[in-house]
Amino acid sequence: MKTKQSRVFSFACQVFVIVILSLTSCGSLSKVQIKSVGSFANACDSFNRYPSLLLAQIAQIRMERGLFYAASLSDPQNKINELNSIFEAFEQDMKLASKCDFSLKILKSYSYALKVLTSDGRWKSRGVEFRSLGRAIDSLVIETNKLNIFEEQLPVGVAKSAAKIVAYGAETLLKRKQHRLTRAFVSEADTLVQALVLGLVQTLRSPQLTALIENEKNGLPLNYKSFLMSLNSSTPPLSNTIDYDRKYLQLKEQCSKLTYSRGYIISASNRLAKTHKELAKSLYNKKEAGEVFEQLSHLIEDIEMLQKQFKYIVEAEW
């Protein structure tokens, strides 16, 4: 009787394992594919705040050149009014700048959701719980046997073995579900990510932003000239302006960097969209995983370039 039971149990286990293995083979993502999703999510995390930093940089230059202009005014009341207006405008500009990270915040939230979805913990924890449940049942069986409630001793170890098989099955099924969801979500998100990045790039390339940058480039020498002319008309004229000249050159350098910074953000944003497209494609075709990693390495290079470009602004903020 006991032999027959164990045969049935063994057969059931074999069938279960075959079913699980057949399920695993179809529809699962490889480790490389899952890793590429994680790497993309990490790259998205590093790609943040740059549009707002660009606008913050413009605001800082505007404030500094405004100070040159204010110093050129002779009437004290005009000077105070100008300084107050500069202060208010700077505050408003910085608030506005922070709003420009909206699209990147959304991307970040999406990448975080992807990271959580693809983490090993999702399916590993299920297996751990089943195994632990099997052990709990077995220890309960041992305790029950000690109490001699039943005529025959209950078999020990069956629950533990069964739980191991069930845990493996649960892990496999959950992993498969996780992979199916990842594939579906990344595909669904691709059109949205492309549209989001396209919108961001269009805004960055817009004539309005060009106008803001050009206005600072033209306004800086004009305001500095007014400042120098006001110094000349003062009595006695201030001859040594080396410190102001140095400040002017620093601002001029920042002005010329604005266009490059904008270009770097556009380039990295386009790269991000392209990488996501490759990622979505690679989840359906294991052969294309290599292409994703190539795009990812370019994306990381672009992001590093951005970090370098904006390093001094981030440092200045802290």
Partner 1 sequence: MSEKQNTLVAQLSEISNALKIVEEKRFSSTLSPAQKRELEQASTVLRDRERELLAQIGQEIAQSIKTMGSQLTLLSKKIRAKTKKMSYTTQSLNKVKKALLLVKKLSQSF
Give residues 208-267 in contact with partner 1 (rule: CB under 8 A).
208-209, 211-212, 215, 218-219, 222, 225-226, 229-230, 232-233
From candidates 3, 26, 207, 235, binder to partner 1 by CB under 8 A: 207
Return the amino acid letter for 202: Q
Nearer to partner 1 (CB atom), residue 13 or residue 231: 231
From candidates 116, 238, 314, 316, binder to partner 1 by CB under 8 A: 116
Nearer to partner 1 (CB atom), residue 45 or residue 291: 45
Nearer to partner 1 (CB atom), residue 8 or residue 116: 116
**Tokens read off for 22:** 């057949």
HSE (side-chain half, CA atoms, 13 Å) at 310: 27
Nearer to partner 1 (CB atom), residue 130 or residue 264: 130
Write out the binding residues for partner 1, residues 75-114 only, by CB under 8 A: 75, 78, 81-82, 85, 89, 92-93, 96, 99-100, 102-103, 106-107, 109-110, 112-114
From candidates 40, 47, 50, 69, binder to partner 1 by CB under 8 A: 69
**Tokens read off for 307:** 């970090």
Cβ atoms of 286 and 30 closer than 8 Å? yes
Contacting range for partner 1; rule: CB under 8 A; set: 27-35, 194-202, 282-290, 303-311: 194-202
Burial readout 54-70 (b: 16 or more C-beta within 10 A, e: otherwise):
bbbbbbbbbbbbbebbb
Binding mask 126-155 for partner 1 (x = CB under 8 A): x--xx-xx--xx-xx--xx--x--------
User: 10 Å Cβ neighbour count for 16?
Assistant: 15
CA–CA distance, 136 with 163 (Å, rounded to integer): 10
Nearer to partner 1 (CB atom), residue 18 or residue 116: 116
* Burial tier of 48 (Cβ tally within 10 Å: 0-12, 13-18, 19+): middle
Cβ atoms of 268 and 306 closer than 8 Å? yes
Residues whose CB falls within 8 Å of the CB of residue 59, separated by 6 or more in sequence, listed in order: 90, 93, 94, 97
Min dist. Cβ of residue 204 to partner 1 (A) = 9
Binding mask 154-173 for partner 1 (x = CB under 8 A): ----------------x---
